[in-house]
Amino acid sequence: MATTRGEGGPRYRSLAPGGAHQHADGTWHTHDHAHDHAAPGPLGAVHDHGMPAERIVAIEQDILARNDAFAARNRQLFRDRGSFALNFVSSPGSGKTTLLVRTIEALKASYPVAVVEGDQQTSLDADRIRATGAAAVQINTGKGCHLDAQMVGEALAALDPAEDGLVLIENVGNLVCPAAFDLGEAHKVVVLSVTEGDDKPEKYPDMFRAADLMVVNKVDLLPYVKFDVAAAVERARRIRPGLPVVEVSATSGAGFPEWLAWIEAGIAAARDARDRDLNALRQRVAELEAKLRAAGQAA
């Protein structure tokens, strides 16, 4: 399945409550023009059309509130199914898809894996994921620079992720806009490859602040580039104190034992949370049944 919004996107109909932006005059804006990301406020995806700042802030709050309602639904679905969901964010070219493919190859025998792929155009990444045997839905955002929770919710309805599994969401390659949008995931994972600058955390602080793990990827290329891993980690932790970091190569497999251990701990925690919910529900049912029995005896 591919869904498209914005330019040339008749296959994606439900523009209104998701990532489309309602202006103060009531019209909807669907990313069909060039963006000015210099607007004030936390939401890089809202654009400056010469509106007063306070009106822009009000629109941002409206968009984020709508998104959060859809994100809460996704989060509940993950909770009910014992799914561990990760939202991968990075610049284009950091190796997210290669990281996902190797991760799936390593875990698919042990856990069901479902994947949501976000790109502006093409289903190339979903095709690579499906070649592993994992189920994947490609969302094409058209001119949109990030996934939103409604798009992901629709993809999840199509994927119907199995119980006790892993849900991997590959966001659109962009270190700005995806930071502001909760998709219902357990964690945002920011991927920084050593072919980029080690100063990215300082240049794009919102994303590193929003992430719960930094994956430093392509470490097999360290002998050939000027990237300083210690400096990148130090810069990221200045923005997000204590940020856990794993150093991997998705092509050589270096660092994968630690990366996979982090994921498997998350899967176990998601299952435990679902089991606690079920036990609480069973206890509540038993209490209600006891109450009914007592009421029956009294009658």
The site for Mg ion (CB under 5 A) is made up of 96-97, 125
Minimum CB distance to Mg ion smaller for 30 or for 217:
217
Residue 8 CB, nearest approach to Mg ion (Å): 21
Least Å distance between CB 222 and Mg ion?
22
Torsional sign, CA 32, 36, 41, 42:
positive
User: With contact defined as beta carbons under 8 Å apart, do 103 and 168 qualify?
Assistant: yes
Nearer to Mg ion, 96 or 235 (CB): 96
And the tokens for 30? 């669907």
Instruction: Tokens for 4, please give them.
Output: 């498209």
Q: Which is nearer to Mg ion, 30 or 249 (CB)?
A: 249
Of 63 and 172, the one with the shorter C-beta distance to Mg ion is 172
* Residue 139 C-beta: closest distance to Mg ion, Å: 12
Min dist CB 97 to Mg ion, Å, is: 4
Contacts of 55 (CB under 8 A, 6+ apart): 24
- Specify the residue, 191 or 233, whose C-beta has the smaller distance to Mg ion: 191
Nearest to Mg ion of 60, 125 (CB atom): 125
Provide, rounded to whole angstroms, the least separation between the CB of residue 98 and Mg ion: 8
- Closest residue to Mg ion in the complex (CB): 97
* DSSP H or E segment with residue 97: helix 96-107
Residue 170 CB, shortest distance to Mg ion, in Å, is 6
Rounded CA-CA distance 174/177 in Å is: 7
Nearer Cβ to Mg ion, position 125 or 154?
125
Token duo for residue 32: 């069909």
Q: For Mg ion, give the closer residue by CB, 191 or 194.
A: 191
The 10 Å Cβ neighbour count of residue 227 is: 19
36: closest CA among 50, 24, 18, 23?
Answer: 50
Cα separation of 183 and 90, whole Å? Answer: 15
Q: Least distance (Å) from Mg ion to the CB of residue 96?
A: 5
Query: In angstroms, what is the minimal distance from the CB of 118 to Mg ion?
Result: 9
CA–CA dist 35, 40 (Å, integer)? 14
Closest among 242, 235, 282, 244 to 262, alpha carbons compared: 244
- How far is 183 from 113, CA to CA, in rounded Å? 17
DSSP secondary structure letter of residue 146: S
3-class secondary structure, 117: strand
Contact 186, 268 (CB under 8 A): no
